[in-house]
Amino acid sequence: MYTTTKKSAVFLLLTFALSSVFGQVNFGKLKDKIKVPTTTSNNKTTSKSNSPSNTSTNFANKGREWYVSKTKGSGQLGTKERPAKDLGNIIHHLKPNDIIYIAGGIYNSKGSRGSDEINVPVKIYGGYDETFTKRDPWGTTQTIFTGTNEYMKLTQPRLYIRTDQQRESNGQLSTGGSIIVDGIVFDNGPRNRYHHNKGLAIRRKASPNSGQNPSPESGGVVIVASKFTNVAVQNCVIMNTAPTEGALSVRIFQGAKGIIQNNLCINNTGYGIHIRSGYTGSDPKLVPNFVVKHNTSLFNWKHDAIASYGGNALACDQYLTATIENNVFGFGHQGGVYNPGAKITLNNNLFTGNSKYDYKERNDMMKVDDILDESTVLDQNSIGNKAMLIKIPLAERWANIYGSRKEISREEVDASVHASNSGANQLRSMLGLNLQAGGTSIDAEIFLPKLEIEEAIPVGSLPWDGKGCQKPQ
Residue 183 shares a structural domain with residue 66: yes
> What pLDDT is attached to residue 306?
86
Domain assignment of residue 216, yes or no: yes
- What are the Cα distances from residue 354, in Å, to 79, 134, 215, 270, 324? 47, 38, 25, 14, 18
Helix H or strand E encompassing 60: none
For residues 456-463, average pLDDT: 96
Residue 7 included in any domain? no
DSSP H helices, 149-251, are none
Question: How many domains does the chain divide into?
Answer: 2
Per-residue pLDDT, 459: 97
Residue 212, C-beta contacts closer than 8 angstroms, at least 6 positions apart? 149, 150, 151, 193, 206
> Does some domain include residue 3?
no
pLDDT digits (tens, 9 = 90+) for 222-280: 999 999 999 999 999 999 999 999 999 999 999 999 999 999 999 999 999 999 999 99
Do 307 and 428 lie in a common domain? no
Residue 38 has a pLDDT of 37
Stronger pLDDT, 32 or 167, i.e. the higher one: 167
In 69-209, the DSSP E strands lie at: 99-103, 105-107, 116-118, 123-128, 143-145, 159-162, 178-182, 185-187
Q: What is the CATH number of the domain that holds 268?
A: 2.160.20
Q: Is the pLDDT of residue 420 over 70?
A: no
Do 341 and 438 belong together in one domain?
Answer: no
Cα three-residue angle 449-144-73, rounded to 5 degrees = 150
Q: What percent of the chain has pLDDT over 90?
A: 78
Does 421 share its domain with 273? Answer: no
Instruction: Give the pLDDT confidence of 9-26 residue by residue, as tens digits.
Output: 344 444 333 332 223 333
Nearest to 315 by CA among 337, 287, 286: 337
Rounded average pLDDT over 404-411:
70
**pLDDT tens column, 292-330:** 999 999 999 999 988 889 999 999 999 999 999 999 999
Q: Could you tell me which residues are beta bridge partners of residue 38?
A: 46
Give the distance between the most distant pair of CA atoms in the chain: 82
**What local confidence, expressed as pLDDT, does residue 34 receive?**
33
Q: Is 100 helix (H, G, I), strand (E, B) or coil?
A: strand
Indicate if the pLDDT at residue 202 is higher than 90: yes
Q: Are residues 271 and 326 in the same domain?
A: yes
Average pLDDT over all residues of the chain: 87
pLDDT at 33 over 60: no
**Could you tell me if residue 2 is inside a domain?**
no
Is there a single domain that holds both residue 415 and residue 309?
A: no
Edge to edge, what strands does the sheet with 105-107 contain?
A: 105-107, 143-145, 185-187, 237-239, 264-269, 296-301, 328-332, 350-352, 386-387
Instruction: Tell me the average pLDDT across 160-173.
Output: 96
Q: Name the 3-class secondary structure at 12.
A: coil
The secondary structure of 380-433 as a DSSP string is TT-B--EE-----B--HHHHHHHHT-----HHHHHHH--B---HHHHHHHHHTP
Give how far the C-alpha of residue 179 lies from the chain's centroid of Cα atoms, to the nearest Å: 16
pTM for the model:
0.86
User: CA–CA distance from 300 to each of 242, 273, 333, 349 (Å)?
Assistant: 10, 10, 6, 17
pLDDT for 305 equals 87
The Cα-based distances of 72 to 1, 75, 303 in angstroms read: 21, 10, 39
Alpha carbon 469 to chain centroid distance? 14
- Please tell me the predicted confidence (pLDDT) of residue 427: 59
Whether the predicted pLDDT of 148 surpasses 60:
yes
Spatial separation of the C-alpha atoms in residues 186 and 241, rounded to whole Å? 9
What pLDDT does 448 receive? 97
Confidence tier at 42 by pLDDT (50, 70, 90): very low
Residue at 238: amino acid letter: I
Q: Is residue 380 part of a domain?
A: yes
How far is the C-alpha of 417 from the C-alpha of 138, rounded, in Å? 47
What pLDDT, on a 0 to 100 scale, did the predictor assign at position 41? 32
For residue 14, the one-letter residue type is L
pLDDT over threshold 90, residue 181:
yes
One domain for residues 344 and 438 = no
* pLDDT for the residue 35: 38
Instruction: Looking at the structure, tell me whether residues 314 and 422 fall in a common domain.
Output: no
User: What are the phi and psi torsion angles at 440 (to 5°)?
Assistant: -125, 150
Residue 10 lies in a domain: no
Grade residue 422 by pLDDT with cuts at 50, 70 and 90: low
pLDDT confidence tier of residue 423, bands split at 50, 70 and 90: low
User: Who contacts 312 (Cβ-Cβ below 8 Å, separation ≥6)?
Assistant: 270, 271, 272, 300, 332, 334, 335, 336, 337, 338, 360
**Cβ count near 146 (within 10 Å):** 24
The yes-or-no verdict on residue 406 having pLDDT over 90 is no
**pLDDT (tens digit per residue) in 52-100:** 679 999 999 999 999 999 999 999 999 999 999 999 999 999 999 999 9
Residue 365 lies in a domain: yes
**Per-residue pLDDT, 144:** 98
Regarding whether 426 and 393 lie in a shared domain, the answer is: no
The answer to whether residue 470 sits within a structural domain is: no
Smallest Cα–Cα separation from 235: which of 186, 290, 271? 186
Predicted confidence at residue 10, as pLDDT, reads: 41
Mean pLDDT of 376-391: 96
Predicted local distance difference test score (pLDDT) of residue 20 = 28
Radius of gyration of the chain (CA): 23
Give DSSP secondary structure letters for 368-394: GGGHHHH-SSS-TT-B--EE-----B-
Compute the Cα dihedral for 373, 379, 384, 390 and give only its sign.
negative
The pLDDT, as a whole number, for residue 438 is 52
Q: Give the domain range for residue 430.
A: 410-442
Long-range contact pairs involving 332-337 (C-beta distance under 8 Å, separation at least 24): 332/272, 332/300, 333/300, 333/301, 333/302, 334/300, 334/302, 334/309, 334/310, 334/360, 335/311, 335/359, 335/360, 335/365, 336/312, 336/368, 337/312, 337/313
* Together in a domain, 416 and 374: no
368 and 431 share one domain: no
Q: Are 428 and 336 in the same domain?
A: no
Whether residue 429 has pLDDT greater than 80: no
Element (H, E) at 331: strand 328-332
Higher pLDDT, 49 or 71: 71
